[in-house]
């Protein structure tokens, strides 16, 4: 709903909030699925249960958000570099320390 209103009114803040909400819905849905699978009891193939599935689904969320950030950053950076005469600074170097933590 926020995205629709944001695009109709051309409000960048509303579009950004809508995208943030969409990311939250995606992460919550994947977390719910991961919790449901990890709470299933053990069986013949997995005698200790399915508890590790929660970690795998957390990695899926992380990789998706990193991929989405990279995709959006590269598109916006390319548009900025093509339309600006100012030297483009690679802001990705500011993100590098967060991966090292």
The end-to-end CA distance of the chain, in Å, is 36
The residue ranking higher by pLDDT, 70 or 99, is: 70
| Domain that includes residue 53, residue range | 2-100
CA–chain centroid gap for 67, Å, is: 7
pLDDT at 94: 56
Distances (CA, A) of 59 to 27, 53, 54, 76, 92: 11, 10, 9, 26, 21
Given a contact cutoff of 8 angstroms between Cβ atoms, the answer to whether 19 and 3 are in contact is yes
- DSSP 8-state class, residue 44: S
pLDDT digits (tens, 9 = 90+) for 10-32: 888 888 888 888 888 988 999 99
Q: With 0.85 as the threshold, say if the pTM is over it.
A: no
pLDDT for position 87: 47
Q: Could you give the number of structural domains in the chain? A: 1
Higher pLDDT, 47 or 101: 47
SS3 (DSSP) at 77: helix
Q: In 1-101, which ranges are continuous DSSP H helix?
A: 2-9, 12-38, 53-83, 92-100
Position 83 scores a pLDDT of 57
Q: Please say if the pLDDT value at position 85 is more than 60.
A: no
């Amino acid at each position: 709903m926020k995205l629709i209103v944001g695009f109709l009114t051309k409000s960048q803040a509303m579009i950004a909030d809508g995208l943030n909400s969409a990311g939250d819905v995606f992460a919550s849905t994947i977390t719910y699925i991961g919790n449901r699978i990890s709470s299933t009891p053990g069986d013949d193939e997995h005698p200790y249960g399915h508890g590790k599935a929660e970690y795998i689904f957390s990695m899926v969320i992380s990789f998706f958000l990193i991929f989405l950030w990279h995709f959006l950053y590269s598109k916006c950076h390319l548009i900025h570099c093509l339309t600006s005469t100012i030297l483009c600074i690679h802001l990705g170097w500011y993100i590098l320390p967060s991966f090292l933590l």
